[in-house]
Amino acid sequence: MAIIRVPKTNNYTVMSNHHLLNPALSLKAKGLMSYMLSCPDDWDFTIDGLDSLNKEGTDAIGRILRELEAQGYIIRNRVRNKSGQFVDLEYSILERPQDAMALETDEAQEKKDSQDRAQEDQLRPAAPVPDDPHVDDPHPENPVVDDLDAEDPAADDRGQPNNNIKYFRNKYG
């Protein structure tokens, strides 16, 4: 199938693809969301106003708005008068749902924290290295035992376990 595009010099809309790629939204919700994002930022959305501009009736538009609200793309605010009576509904339209924006904010914070920890690790002094460790030429006070199975090398002359022998067995045996 070919897509025939027109030059975008006037009468076009730039919007995020987020809602269009969201599999949790119905096609009607994607269409209404795209329509609302194509309106000016100060557009006053009402169900009756959307009904007058579209083929769907008020019930269908109400269901679609509730779907978008449940997915976090719309925030509905009930407006009340001074005596507390409900007088209007005010909609805020979000290109990305609230949960996605919070998640992106959390991910950004985690990334920053990770970078901060990495920077702290770089500034932290390295663990001290013992002076002149002779790995290839061990000191006489720590001789390598060749025959670990001779008599009972795991016990010293007092009959106590010799942890150095166990260490050598684990390391070299």
Quick one: tokens of 111? Answer: 């990334």
Q: What is the Cα–Cα distance from 154 to 170, expressed in whole angstroms?
A: 12
How many angstroms separate the Cα of 70 from the Cα of each of 24, 56, 59, 63, 93?
A: 10, 20, 16, 10, 13
Pick the residue with more confidence: 147 or 57? Answer: 57
Query: Quick one: pLDDT band at residue 12, thresholds 50, 70, 90?
Result: confident
Please, is 81 exposed, middle or buried when counting C-beta atoms within 10 Å of its C-beta (0-12, 13-18, 19+)?
exposed
73, 99 contact by CB (below 8 A): no
Report, as an integer, the average pLDDT of 140-152. 56
Q: Does pTM top 0.85 for this prediction?
A: no
Please report the pLDDT score of residue 22 as a whole number: 93
Average model confidence (pLDDT) across the chain:
75
Interval 45-54: pLDDT, tens: 788 888 888 8
Q: What is the Cα–Cα distance from 40 to 45, expressed in whole angstroms?
A: 11
Structural domain boundaries of the chain? Answer: 18-96
**Per-residue 3-state assignment (H helix, E strand, C coil) for 40-95:** CCCCCCCHHHHHHHCCCCHHHHHHHHHHHHHCCCEEEEEEECCCCCEEEEEEEECC
Please, is 25 exposed, middle or buried when counting C-beta atoms within 10 Å of its C-beta (0-12, 13-18, 19+)?
buried
- For residue 23, pLDDT beyond 90: yes
Please report the pLDDT score of residue 143 as a whole number: 60
- For residue 148, pLDDT beyond 80: no
Strands 86-93 and 74-80 come out as antiparallel
CA of residue 35 relative to chain centroid, distance: 29
Structurally, at CATH architecture level, domain 18-96 sits in: Orthogonal Bundle (1.10)
At which residue do the structure tokens 């010099």 appear? 9
Please report the pLDDT score of residue 53 as a whole number: 84
